[in-house]
Structure 1
């Protein structure tokens, strides 16, 4: 009889442990932290896909379980900065950096694109390659009509080198301005230009001989108070760098674009970036494509 009671107690205990484990697993599954990530300004804009994949990769390597969700409002760069600063609608954004933005937000100082954002080719109108055929120096470039978004750090970087930049109100409007001959040369990063050309093949081409280069890239930014998320993203990115998965994703997305750009065959005009923060990890060669630019 005593043995039977003992057996019953053991079975009850085992059932209790079983249901406790089920409950804990259920609680664990429901303890997901949502991370709000922006959507681009236009439906055809593919610039946010790679950083989203990189964010997914980084978050997959942390102990916290995260799920990325998306607000319904499209955002340009400055809108993302304002939303993050105020703690509204998004939690993280892949934003081109500047010392001013790094002061307003909390940056994770690992360049998302290994500095490719500072390698620029130019969109021009079809048949206009002769307009830039003799551009070989910064002084030559200063005589070219070019444009950038009025809120983009690129505008200040180019103006810092004495280049007169025609500002565009929105990303989409700049393509219309080029077609309408409001300017002649639209510098775009090696990552962006190929998909943008596909969208504008009827009227545009890539200028064949020139490249611009300045020390510049995007970071993931979060609100200054969101230290845990920043630390988790940083930890995940560092793990991805160490195990090679960062480079694998980079090559998957941008290897072909780099090879098509033929940077070693172009005349490269080097520009100084006056917006660069002193905290930029410029000495970590593994974070930059090609080499570490010196400024």
Structure 2
């Protein structure tokens, strides 16, 4: 039983560093709020380039992870999903990274159809590739995020989208390349994409502990405080309310989250 083991193996790979840090601290907060204070969280930040490997993560020793609700990599696989959004739907607010020289071209976009005809670059295994395809976008899915930045610089794709929670820090990490790139200032793509905890199917006690702690952290305001610490003033800083919003549907949401609305 997990209470006796006192170890929680948390897979935290295949995501940006800013997401890794927030989700790691969130799990720690949930365990603490559930009075599971002596837990030793063993963090695995291995990146898996194969969707199959990621989908089989629970067979590799993982106890718990955070991923998007309805992630098709786990479709049909035994798992316990705690269907409580942990990041206010922030990841579904996507901004575009484009070439600076293409700024005028994108400023003239007035409809979704115009953007659908351009090519979006998405790294292999990212859950939103299928979602964009389902919404009629032209998707080129391959390689890593760095590979897609190189393809953007070479004009083999037209743009990349990233969640508002990570786009600034990722752009900063690109070093000299960022001089040629721009966060497009007018467009916001939104689709419901809540992040939730996935727990090993044999770790039901752990699932109950995490769920109890998450409920407590939401109720006492500690969850909101952690969110704000990692995403300060994000709505105003990135002008989310004044952008032209292009809304997509997410056919992969579980029934319990069909009515999900972002809380930003």
Q: TM-score under structure 2 normalisation?
A: 0.88
Q: Give yes or no for the alignment of 1:199 onto 2:173.
A: yes
Residues 32 and 148 of structure 1: is their aligned pair in 2 closer, same or farther, counting only changes over 3 Å? same
Contact 1:35 1:91 in 2 (8 A): yes
Distance 1:259 1:72 in 2: 31
The CA deviation string for residues 184-238 of structure 1, in whole angstroms up to 9 with x for no partner, is 1111100010101112223321011101000112211111121111111110000
Q: Give yes or no for the alignment of 1:173 onto 2:147.
A: yes
What SS class does the counterpart of residue 44 from structure 2 fall into? coil
Partner of 2:245: 268
Residues 185 and 280 of structure 1: is their aligned pair in 2 closer, same or farther, counting only changes over 3 Å? same
The CA deviation string for residues 259-279 of structure 1, in whole angstroms up to 9 with x for no partner, is 221011110001111111112
Contact 1:80 1:93 in 2 (8 A): no
Contact 1:71 1:89 in 2 (8 A): no
Deviation at 1:102, TM superposition (A): 5.8
Q: Give yes or no for the alignment of 1:143 onto 2:120.
A: no
Contact 2:81 2:198 in 1 (8 A): yes
Show structure 1 runs of 5+ residues with no match. Answer: 1-29, 291-295
Deviation at 1:254, TM superposition (A): 1.2
Distance 1:236 1:61 in 2: 5
Show structure 2 runs of 5+ residues with no match. Answer: none
Q: TM-score under structure 1 normalisation?
A: 0.79
**Quick one: higher RCO (CA 8 Å, sep 6+), 1 or 2?**
2
What SS class does the counterpart of residue 46 from structure 1 fall into? helix
How many residue pairs match? The answer is: 255
Q: Give yes or no for the alignment of 1:114 onto 2:88.
A: yes
The CA deviation string for residues 156-182 of structure 1, in whole angstroms up to 9 with x for no partner, is 111111111111222332222212211
Deviation at 1:32, TM superposition (A): 5.7
Residues 144 and 271 of structure 1: is their aligned pair in 2 closer, same or farther, counting only changes over 3 Å? same
